[in-house]
Amino acid sequence: MFHRNDENGLTREIQDYLDRETQRNIDRGMNPEDARRAARRKLGPSARVLEDTRAAAHGRLFTWFEMLLRDIRHGLRMFAANPSFTLTAILSLAFGTGANVAMFSAADALLLRPLPVPHPREIVNLGVEFSTPDFTLLRASYPDYVDFRDQNRSFKGLLASTSITAGFAAEPGASAQVMPAMAVSGNFFDVLQIRPALGRGFRPEEDQVRGRDPVVVLSDTLWRDLGADPKILGRAVRIAGIGFTVIGVAPESFTIADCAFYIPLAMWPTITGQPNLLDSRAALSLTVKGRLKPGVSLASAQAEIETIAQNLRRAHPETNRSTRFTLKTELEMAIVSNHVYTALSGILGILAIAVFIVACANVAGLLTSRAPLRAREIALRLAIGARRGRLIRQLLTESSLIALAGALLGLPLAYAGIQWMRRIHYPTDLVTVPRIELDQRALAFSILIAMSSVILFGLIPAIQTTRTNLAAAFKSGAGVETGKRRLWGRNLLVAIQVAFSLLLLTLATFAYRAFTGELTGAAPFRTTHLAMLSLDPKLLRYSDADTLRLYQTLTQRASSIPRLQSLALGSAVPIGRVIPAVVNPEGFALPRNQPYATVYTSAVDEHYFDTLAIPILRGRGFATTDASGAPAVAIVNETFASRYWPAQDPIGKRILVNGVEWVTVVGVARNSRYLFVTEPPMGFLYLPYRQLPAAAMTVFAATSGDSTALLAPLRKLVQQIDPNMPIYDAQTMEHYYDARAVSVAHVITQIIGAMGLMGLAMAMVGLYALMSYSVSRLTREIGIRMAVGADRSNVMQMIARQGMLPVLIGIAAGLALSAATGRSLHAAFPLRYTYGPETYLLIIPLLLSIALLAAFLPARRASLVDPMTALREE
Amino acid sequence: MSTGPRQNLAAKDRIDLLQGTLDMLILRTLLFGPAHGHTIAHSIESGSDEVLQVEHGSLYPALHRLVRQGLLSAKDGLSENNRKAKFYSLTAKGRRHLMRESNKWDRLSAAIGRIMRPTES
């Protein structure tokens, strides 16, 4: 470093002074030893002289940096001399910061991050609330939307949108590709304040007349897929076989999940071939978002919405009699729109915070346990004249070095965690792409907390030591331990450490068991020897009769495929696509403000239950005779039956579906999983597809052999029936289940397991350091007791009493903490699992034995030493 | 205990140096030629008949400060007993500074003297 020369010169100069002064004193007749002592006294504390002279020679700022460098050098030397301490502290902080940043980034992507539009906080959602235990949706009909849009004064604008699927051909002759897209109101881009990257957005008049304006705005993704042609505006493309003109390209910043392009809402009936799609007030098919005017509160907007809804109820009693419109912010929507991942984010978040607290407590413990070692060094330096502020500054620098190193190492860990979590495919209805990015606020926050905890605990010993009297510090090798207060602080630290370790470990064990339980248990439906592909005849504008005929032909001809056991149709796919419906189960009194219950449904054929191995527990399955004209029937699952008709026979009960049709229950199917592997049991309604032809269907084919071998013949079969029929999602169930269920659960269990292990490792190290330190503080007492005749067992008892008390208190606090967390988790999220007592039976003995071991080893060492040595050592 | 010259004087008669005054005294001492730290400290003490007490520890910061301000220059040289030592000498700037300071000091001490002993002036 710099001025090494200068530094030597300065030391030499001081030495020169001392020599001369000594000589002078000798010349006056003093003996050499007295002469040297007098010279030193005359000069004053040499450390301070050196320091002051340095400061005078170089100026303040220069000295400040010089001192910083000196402190850093000193700190690095200290770290190199204590590698295990340094490594443990840095790794603890790295784990804590990394886990915290990764989890917060995930939560941010899933829940907190607003829409990628200007002033996202002004955006709110409007609609009728559909609530199930698993998700909440807000939906509105087109006529209601138009009334709200035109009558309100709270919003700058209200937009409506719906997700669609349509075949897209880049040029008239090309073959169409099925793509997810959105039909949006004419003011969509204006309300969101999105300026297209190329061309323009829709004009309000472009959603006025049905079918008049075939214009399309491409997403940035699709535009790039088509070759990123800057002259694409005006190009003719075909959507669902209809010619459209490209008028714009959305900016890259506004990328919406599963949306390749945007068309005006008025074109939606045209491309689906259902001319009255937007006419019914009963068809709650649109998502409505609005931008609040500045200064308008959510409450006053809600009040205005209520007034308009009141008028609608009066004007259209047949459809709006019992509808209630609510407003929800984007964040509220994100939280309620999928409880499963809110629960997941919640659990992972709590785990990450617990890891972080344990990490900080860990480092605090390590620093505290090292305090007496430092005390001696500090006392020495105080004695040669170093100033208190200077020493505190040095300790601060060292602490900051640890915190900084921990945080820096935490960064790659956070990145690794984020990469890991990106593998989770969340079953989400979110509009925006939940892409997890490293969150800088989380990083800053974590570093800040880590820094302050390290600095706080690094400083406490410094301040206490620098305040003590030097003589005492020198006499006792282990430092300047006195007073109940300090013992208290350390015991508190032990208790906190134990409590949060317990919380972390119970949560991790609980979550781990919840997810692995799902994986090791058999899936409640067939997941092997099954192939599937999806068709949507509506894309070719098939009529209902044509659709039915297509599926019938397909079912009949499929028997020619070798090794095919059975073929089934279903409109929903397990652990994936589901179709919600509103129902009124007969004889069940819904809560007063809830006009109907929402459940998931699937339209299935008569082979569905056999093919997917979902047994019918009571009553019968569907039959070919359950066709249009025959009495409308339905099959419910166990949860549906027990929720709405507890202790009653569900067979023969009736259900009003979507407010229009009564169906009679003819059977009860075993519960399956519909959305997510760890979902709680949920009600489900099966309807015969012949009575409710759903256009888009997934074909499930079971085989005795390899399911991959079925895919090609199935495709060929569909193409023989209609060469133009688009096929999508052709895959084996093995592949699908692995991607949607197994790997997701694996990633989650890995994350939880990793956090649990990190927590366990840190708890062990931290607890050991603190405990053994606490007990080593008792060495003198042990010595005295042994000297006055106590035997080893007495000593051990004393240690057990004093050392283990904070551990026991911590365990009690941890039990209370984890019970409370468990309860609030259950209250907030419908999880099926509870902590079993076996979780505690595993964890409490573990923590106790670590603590006992940590107390026992130093106690044993202390009790083995000769009492006199122990006393002298103190 | 040592019997340094300091002990010859009753503690109440000693005067601690005012801030800034030490600088002036150092410059004044070096007017006669280069000297090293130890000599400077003792010249100030003996020159004032032991009335002024220099905290020797504070001498070195003062010397280095003056070097930084360009009022002194420091040079490594050999001392009388052939040891390496640092010699300080007055620069031209230091000389001018000393003139100014001693003028100021004269005016100040005269003014204070008039107030303290009005009859003697």
pLDDT at position A567: 93
Q: Say which range, A50-59, A552-561, A628-637, has the weakest mean pLDDT.
A: A50-59
**Exposed e or buried b for every residue in A838-874, given b needs 16+ CB within 10 A?**
ebbeebbebbeebbbebbbebbeebbeeebeebbeeb
Distance of CA A145 to the CA centre of its chain: 34
Residue A852, pLDDT above cutoff 50: yes
> Is the ipTM beyond the 0.90 threshold?
no
Cα–Cα distance measured from residue A78 to residue A73, given in angstroms and rounded to the nearest whole number: 9
Task: Give the residue on B whose Cα is nearest the Cα of A33.
Answer: B2
pLDDT at position A288: 93
Residue B2, pLDDT above cutoff 50: no
Contact map slice: B 83-102 vs A, CB within 8 A: 83-86
- Cβ–Cβ of A42/B62 closer than 8 Å? no
- Rounded to 5 degrees, φ, ψ at A163 are -85, 135
Q: What is the 3-state secondary structure (H, E, C) of B14-79?
A: CEECCCCHHHHHHHHHHHHCCECHHHHHHHHHHHCCCCEECCHHHHHHHHHHHHHCCCEEEEEEEC
Cα–Cα distance measured from residue A397 to residue A406, given in angstroms and rounded to the nearest whole number: 14
Residue A209, pLDDT above cutoff 90: no
Cα–Cα distance measured from residue A255 to residue A742, given in angstroms and rounded to the nearest whole number: 28
For residue A140, give the DSSP letter.
Answer: B
- Cβ–Cβ of A48/B85 closer than 8 Å? no
pLDDT at position A432: 41
What is the H or E stretch that residue A247 is in? strand A242-249
Cα–Cα distance measured from residue A171 to residue A236, given in angstroms and rounded to the nearest whole number: 6
Residue (of A658, A682, A678) closest to A582 by Cα position: A658
* Beta-strand runs (E) in A397-445: none
B7/chain A closest Cα distance in angstroms: 12
- Is A60 at the interface with chain B, CB within 8 A? no
Cα–Cα distance measured from residue A560 to residue A546, given in angstroms and rounded to the nearest whole number: 22
In a mutational test of the B interface, the residue from A7, A13, A31, A60 whose CB has the highest number of chain B CBs within 10 Å is A13
Cβ contact A816:A334 at 8 Å = no
- Is B55 at the interface with chain A, CB within 8 A? yes
Cα–Cα distance measured from residue A68 to residue A352, given in angstroms and rounded to the nearest whole number: 34
- Cβ–Cβ of B85/A42 closer than 8 Å? no
pLDDT at position A518: 62
A92/chain B closest Cα distance in angstroms: 44
CA angle A737, A739, A743 (to 5 degrees): 100
- Percent of chain A clearing pLDDT 70 (strictly above): 83
pLDDT at position A478: 43
In a mutational test of the B interface, the residue from A28, A30, A42 whose CB has the highest number of chain B CBs within 10 Å is A42
- Cβ–Cβ of A49/B62 closer than 8 Å? no
- Mean pLDDT confidence for B57-71: 84
- Is B38 at the interface with chain A, CB within 8 A? yes
Cα–Cα distance measured from residue A708 to residue A702, given in angstroms and rounded to the nearest whole number: 11
Cα–Cα distance measured from residue A840 to residue A853, given in angstroms and rounded to the nearest whole number: 19
**In which band, very low, low, confident or very high, does the pLDDT at A97 lie, cut at 50, 70 and 90?**
confident
**In which band, very low, low, confident or very high, does the pLDDT at A430 lie, cut at 50, 70 and 90?**
very low
All residues at 6 or more sequence positions from A256 whose CB lies less than 8 Å from its CB, including other chains? A182, A219, A431, A432, A433
Task: Give the residue on A whose Cα is nearest the Cα of B64.
Answer: A57
Residue A592, pLDDT above cutoff 60: yes
- Is A725 at the interface with chain B, CB within 8 A? no
Cα–Cα distance measured from residue A357 to residue A573, given in angstroms and rounded to the nearest whole number: 42
Cα–Cα distance measured from residue A291 to residue A154, given in angstroms and rounded to the nearest whole number: 9
Residue A837, pLDDT above cutoff 90: no
Cα–Cα distance measured from residue A523 to residue A180, given in angstroms and rounded to the nearest whole number: 29
- What residues are paired with A325 via a beta bridge? A128
- Domain boundaries of chain A, sorted by first residue: 1-44, 61-117+338-480, 136-335, 483-521+736-874, 537-725
* Beta-strand runs (E) in A449-513: none
For residue A668, give the DSSP letter.
Answer: E
What value does the mean pLDDT of chain A take? 80
Q: What is the pLDDT of residues A824-835, one digit of tens each?
A: 666 555 455 555
Residue A164, CA atoms < 13 Å, CB-side half-sphere: 28
Cα–Cα distance measured from residue A315 to residue A113, given in angstroms and rounded to the nearest whole number: 39
Cα–Cα distance measured from residue A122 to residue A301, given in angstroms and rounded to the nearest whole number: 12
The residue type found at A339 is H
Cβ contact A575:A743 at 8 Å = no
Cβ contact A530:A724 at 8 Å = no
- Is A42 at the interface with chain B, CB within 8 A? yes
Residue A492, pLDDT above cutoff 50: yes
Summary count for chain A: helices (H), strands (E): 27, 22
Q: How many CB pairs under 8 A join A and B?
A: 80
Residue (of A543, A366, A544) closest to A457 by Cα position: A366
Tokens of A493: 């630290």
Cβ contact A638:A628 at 8 Å = no
- Is A384 at the interface with chain B, CB within 8 A? no
Task: Give the residue on B whose Cα is nearest the Cα of A47.
Answer: B57
- Domain boundaries of chain B, sorted by first residue: 11-116
CA angle A434, A139, A197 (to 5 degrees): 50
pLDDT at position B11: 47
Residue (of A814, A50, A108) closest to A440 by Cα position: A108
pLDDT at position B14: 52
- Cβ–Cβ of B57/A49 closer than 8 Å? yes
Which chain A residues are closer than 8 Å to B57 by Cβ? Answer: 43-46, 48-49, 52
- What residues are paired with A731 via a beta bridge? A532
Cα–Cα distance measured from residue B22 to residue B95, given in angstroms and rounded to the nearest whole number: 15
The residue type found at A702 is A
CATH of domain B11-116: 1.10.10.10
What is the H or E stretch that residue A602 is in? strand A597-604
Residue A624, pLDDT above cutoff 80: yes
Distance of CA A327 to the CA centre of its chain: 25
The residue type found at A71 is D
Tokens of A67: 């001192």
**In which band, very low, low, confident or very high, does the pLDDT at A112 lie, cut at 50, 70 and 90?**
low
- What residues are paired with A602 via a beta bridge? A686
Contact map slice: B 15-34 vs A, CB within 8 A: none
- Mean pLDDT confidence for A160-174: 80
Tokens of A461: 């010993």
Tokens of A518: 């799902």
- Mean pLDDT confidence for A131-136: 64
Residue A314, CA atoms < 13 Å, CB-side half-sphere: 5
Residue (of A871, A725, A830) closest to A336 by Cα position: A830
Residue A809, pLDDT above cutoff 80: yes
Q: What is the pLDDT of residues A387-396, one digit of tens each?
A: 777 777 888 8
Residue B12, pLDDT above cutoff 80: no
- Mean pLDDT confidence for A549-563: 90
All residues at 6 or more sequence positions from A482 whose CB lies less than 8 Å from its CB, including other chains? A472
Q: What is the pLDDT of residues A560-581, one digit of tens each?
A: 888 899 999 998 888 876 777 7
